[in-house]
């Protein structure tokens, strides 16, 4: 079981698109996802990083901290 988990982690890291410090591409910013839980957005709202990009939203820039969690 331990070797299986090691293989999964290795494959995940080998094929990851982004690393620490990378900028998210415009095409990935334009992906829209439904909010499942949030403090400022309601559950069921649509969310896109593109809406927070000051270059494309009229000059309102944001600093974003992404915390991605899973409860498996």
pLDDT tens, residue by residue, 16-57: 677 778 888 899 889 998 888 777 778 888 888 898 889 988
Question: What is the pLDDT, as a whole number, of residue 9?
Answer: 57
Question: What is the pLDDT, as a whole number, of residue 11?
Answer: 56
Give 65's Cβ-side CA count (13 Å radius).
1
Any idea which residue has 């990009």 for tokens?
53
Q: Are 37 and 52 in contact (CB under 8 A)?
A: no
Question: What is the pLDDT, as a whole number, of residue 10?
Answer: 58
Question: What is the pLDDT, as a whole number, of residue 15?
Answer: 60
Question: What is the pLDDT, as a whole number, of residue 30?
Answer: 92
Please tell me whether residue 38 adopts helix, strand or coil conformation: coil
């Amino acid at each position: 079981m331990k070797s299986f988990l090691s293989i999964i982690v290795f494959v995940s890291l080998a094929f990851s698109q982004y690393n620490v410090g990378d900028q998210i591409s415009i095409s990935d910013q334009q992906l829209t996802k439904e909010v499942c839980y949030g403090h400022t957005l309601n559950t069921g709202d649509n969310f896109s990083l593109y809406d927070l990009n000051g270059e494309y939203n009229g000059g309102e820039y944001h600093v974003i901290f992404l915390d991605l969690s899973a409860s498996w």
